Every structure is written in structure tokens, then in C-alpha cells.
Amino acid sequence: MIFKKPAPMENLRSKVIYHGGTLPVPCRLQKGTLCLDGSRLILSAKDPDGRYDIDLSIPRDSIREVASEEKKYYSTTGYFLMLGYADSAGELHRLEIELRCFCRRARGRAALRMWIAALSGSP
């Protein structure tokens, strides 16, 4: 049996749903991707109408806080990544992003732990 080498933590990519935060964008549960590309965290999410598309590129060193949360839905569990970051003017912003995990709960938790470790700098 051949096992693939795991991807390096600097190149994480997940499908996500934007739930809210301090951006001047209403929560319309925009589906998109979250990507850690070297020293930048990139969030892109599309609104079905095209009015509230999100395209953020956040330097990794401007991320101030990272937390996780699990929310129980009717038939599943949502895995949320809560981010706090400072923009170029020093103003603090928050994001609430749900990881789209169409898999077992343990895999969803593992993906969330990988994001927490990669963004907080802990192993």
C-alpha cells in the first residue's frame, strides 16, 4: 500500500462558508475557499447575486487570535474557525468561517485542528 506524503502546513486549502464578522458584508452564507499560501491567508467567497463577493488576503503575521467552535445542527455538526486580524491601519477585524466537511466528525475536527495549528504557530 502506498501512502501519500501529507501536504506541508504552508499550503492548506479548505472549502468554507462565510458566516459573518466585522466586514461590511452581510452574512449570506457565501461559499468559497480558505487557503494558506506561504505567508498569506486568502479567503475568497462568492455571493449568488454577485453583490457581496469576498476576496481577502491577510498577512499571516497580522493574525491576532485564532479559535475554534463546534455548533450542532439538526443532523450534523458545523466546525467553525474564528479569526481576529489587524488590517494595514491597525484596526482589528473578526471573521467567522465554517469549514465544509462532508465527512466523518473526526476528520472535520482534524481539519479544524490543522488550521488552528497552522495559524497560531503551534505544532
Q: Are strands 63-72 and 54-59 parallel, antiparallel or unpaired?
A: unpaired
| C-alpha dist (Å) from residue 81 to 96, 112, 118 | 6, 7, 12
Per-residue pLDDT of the chain (123 residues; tens, 9 = 90+): 554 444 445 578 999 999 888 888 887 888 999 999 888 999 999 988 888 899 999 999 999 999 999 888 777 788 999 999 998 888 999 999 999 877 677 788 888 999 999 998 754
Rounded CA-CA distance 60/22 in Å is: 18
Which residues, at least 6 apart from 106, have a Cβ–Cβ distance to it below 8 Å?
none
In the chain, domain spans: 9-120
| Residue 93 and residue 85 in contact, taking contact as beta carbons nearer than 8 Å | yes
- The CATH fold assigned to 9-120 is PH-domain like (2.30.29)
pLDDT of residue 117: 92
